[in-house]
Each structure stands twice: as C-alpha cells, then as structure tokens.
Amino acid sequence: MSQAYFAHSTAVIDAGCTIGEGSKIWHFSHIMTNCTMGANCNIGQNVVVSPGVILGTNVKVQNNVSIYTGVICEDDVFLGPSMVFTNIVNPRSAIVRKDQYARTLVKKGASIGANATVVCGHTIGEYALIGAGAVVTKDIRPYALVVGNPARQTGWVSEYGHKLRFDTNNQAICPESNQVYELIDNQVYRKE
C-alpha cells in the first residue's frame, strides 16, 4: 500500500507522526516524533519540525525553518525562509526546561516573513502578516501588519495580503479580492 504523501528520500520522519494526504516533505527535512500535519502541506528543504508540533491543512513551510515543540499552526499558514520559533523564554544549556515549553499559536491564514523570529508564548492572529526579519515579542492582532525589532504594527492587511487603506467611514476594499473590511475599535473585520 502506498503512502498518501510524498517524502524525499533524504527526509527523516520519526515514528508516531500523522501526515495528511497530498503533503510533500523535501530534502534533508526532519519531522520528529508525534507531529501532526494536515493535508496538502509543503515542507521545504532542511526544515526541522520538533516533537508534538501541530500543522493544519495547506501549511507552507519554506526552506531552513525551525518549528519547535509548543507551536501550533492552523490552516493556510505560511512560514517564510529561515524563520524560527522559540519555545523557552530563558534558555540555558546546563538547565533542562523541557517541562516549561511555552505554547505559540499561529492562527488561520497568517504569514510570517523570511528570517523572522517568533518568541514563544504568543498568538499571531488570523491573516496577520509578519514582515521579513521581524522579532515578535507579543500577541499580534488579526489582519495586523507588523515589522521591525521588536515587531510593531504599521497597518492592516486583507486576507489576500494587501495593505488596507480605510476611508472616513472606516471601510477598506482589498484591491485583489474586492472584499470589504471594517475598522471598529482598533480591530479589523471582514464584512460578509
């Protein structure tokens, strides 16, 4: 019986992993024990997915990414090249703190740019866009655009990743999808 996903011959997949149909795992990547990966994920080359990590459906992980224990990525998350998550706030080589891994949640549709770092214990909201090289040190609101070190919000983006420009009625239209968004009490909502 053939497996329902593709794994390059150099990829290592430890026991106890669940990998969804149509997913692809490329060169020199390591999926460690008890990971869960939904359908249609793409894991680039030289990626490490640590024990117990959960990836939803259609998660795209670019080359050289480290996803450490405690991370959960919901559906349609994009992780840019060489970005990294942490899982301990105060790591020390001589002190074992595996019982103190902090949970990091990346909500549906969020994108994290190349070389960004996400310090553990935070939530990145739905469809948020984290700029390349940003260092996330706090929770990020849904649809927020954040850049810099430490990451700071500079605007809002649509579900298609375009910067939103709100009019005097606090409404914005995505130039690609024509979806309408509202800004209410410093939070963005997509109108149905």
Which CATH code, of 3.40.50.300, 2.160.10.10, 2.130.10.10, 3.40.50.970, is assigned to 6-157? 2.160.10.10
Whole-model pTM: value is: 0.96
Q: Is the pLDDT of residue 81 over 70?
A: yes
Beta strands, E only, 30-170: 30-31, 36-37, 42-43, 48-49, 54-55, 60-61, 66-67, 71-73, 78-79, 84-85, 104-106, 111-112, 117-118, 123-124, 129-130, 135-136, 144-147, 152-156
Give per-residue pLDDT as tens, 162-172.
Answer: 999 999 999 99
Domain residue ranges in the chain: 6-157, 163-192
Q: Is the pLDDT of residue 178 over 60?
A: yes
Give per-residue pLDDT as tens, 119-154.
Answer: 999 999 999 999 999 999 999 999 999 999 999 999
